[in-house]
Amino acid sequence: MKLVIIGGVAGGASAAARARRIDEKAEIVLIERGEHVSFANCGLPYYIGGEIDDRDSLLVQTPRKLGRRFNLDVRCNSEATRIFPDRHQVEVRDLIAGRTYLESYDRLILSPGAAPFVPDIPGAGLEGVYTLRTIPDAERIRALVEREKPATAVVAGGGFIGLEMAENLHRRGIRVHLVEMASQVMPAVDEDIAAFLHRELRDKGVKLHLSTRVEAVERDSGGLLVRLSGSEAICAGLVILSVGVRPETRLAAGAGLALGAGGGIEVDDHLRTSDPDIYAVGDAVEVRNLVTGRKELIPLAGPANKQGRIAADNALGGRGVSFRGSLGTSIVRVFDLVLARTGASEKQLKAESLEYLSSWTHSASHASYYPGAGQISIKLTFSPVDDTLYGAQAVGRDGVDKRIDVLATALANKMTVHELTELDLAYAPPFGSGKDPVNMAGYVASNILNGDVAVAHWNELNGFRDNGRLLLDVRSRPEFALGHIPGALNIPVDELRARLAELDPDRETVAYCRVGVRAYIACRILAQQGFGRVRNLSGGYVTYSTAAPGDTTSALERESLLQGQE
């Protein structure tokens, strides 16, 4: 058996290593266009920023070590230019020697990845304008930063790479302008979750340009002049284009392999393409979204590594192993804040026309009495029909990663939000709480499903006081004085029973507090006193003051909100 793998890094390198563990006698050829066959491309922004100082630490395996350990024929600086499926051959160009030759195969695994999208704008090819995909890309950017010490940089795109580059260039003392054509950074998450990142970026001095695009880059006497939509122009010494990636499907399309609706390579559950002897993995393939069931591109390292293993199992072992799909579980650090997601967001569920409910919680990352506790904000989406979890998004400064991993596990096993309340999670004061933030998220969602409380969301409050409706702030008077939703009536929850006569039981009322706990208690009091039209503001004032457009909450007040307890 002869297996040829086109493309290294996550999918291809893991496929090669797995293939050798399955079949010691197989001939395995790994063809890689670049000079590095297995490297940590997710670490490149941190190398540019200096947090990772040694370039060689990014090399997961060198071609020589990978070849020796697994007895592989590793050919770097070799580009597969064409596939002939009828002849079971690949055309390969040796980029060093400049010669072209044909390589035969019995089975072929494609792992071409995805390439940074370069917008069709004037000046995109100028010196000082870069994309980031490979170690040589990172070396060029870092060399420019260290050699020319630019005062200002423009980062176009607010996805993973854009956010990480904004942080790491800021670490280098560079003034950063982050330009995003959407109305929020991290388009995969909901706008109210992204709002936490907007604040963090602005607080750290990054200039955000939302709903804005780079229209041209020009060379001028001061370096580069970056022209934005809306006639604004920025003088910069460095421009990073990180406006998205596109699947590398040229080889697949040229070989007549079927492509999916999203432009990626179409594969079945065994990662087999439309040709039975060709498999495909990684950023270039369309896989099933485990929540919506739709095939889509999910360009993440975790799924690519798993797919490489499965493709090797099926190509060499004939084991019929299936790749179930992906939840798109992902995480990013932006300065002192961490944001993570898994499953379907609210915007995805709306796009799929799926009926859903959502809830917010703001819990301490560990026992609040133990020093260093911060806030973890969790937004759940879930089904009102069978109570199953649809998705989770979380943001905070500590402990976000382990909570999103628990929620991803719950999603993969189709757990209901009620079952989240029963999860037996590790607790000691430095690490968690008796009721973990995941448990608390489950309790709040269960209360909604059980009819214990109705909820309103922050984006429903615009004009809410029209038609005689009431906003009821049940926090303390000092909290109310620090900041509140305009037009709200303040009755602290501990005074509520004594002041019921001040309220109309027939009036539609939304109660709110800092994060929702006291307002939930207030709603239960009012409901049992005959108030029939009462709702709790999900996530309370923390969510509202972060997500509401035009909010002017000060950094000092925000810190008070983040650190305060119910």
Catalytic residues: 513
Strands (E), 59-190: 59-61, 73-75, 78-84, 89-94, 100-104, 107-110, 114-116, 129-130, 152-156, 175-180
Which strands sit side by side in the sheet containing 285-288, from one edge to the other? Answer: 265-266, 285-288, 295-297
Q: In what order do the strands lie in the sheet with 100-104?
A: 78-84, 89-94, 100-104
Neighbours of 99 (CB within 10 A): 9
Cα 365 to Cα 363: distance, rounded to the nearest angstrom = 6
Distances 215 to 122, 156, 157, 210 between C-alpha atoms, Å: 7, 10, 13, 14
Tokens 């709200």, residue located: 488
Q: Could you tell me if 332 and 160 are in contact, meaning their C-beta atoms sit under 8 angstroms apart?
A: yes
Residue 388 is classified by DSSP as: B
Q: Distance between CA 526 and CA 520 in Å, rounded?
A: 10
Amino acid identity at 45 = P
Note the residue count of the chain: 566
DSSP label of 26: S
Please report the sign of the dihedral spanned by the C-alpha atoms of residue 346, residue 348, residue 351, residue 356: negative
Dig out the tokens for 191 from the structure.
């706008």
* Closest to 59 measured CA to CA, from 75, 80, 37: 37
Calpha distance 541→564 (Å, rounded): 12
Burial class for 528, CB neighbours closer than 10 Å (0-12, 13-18, 19+): exposed
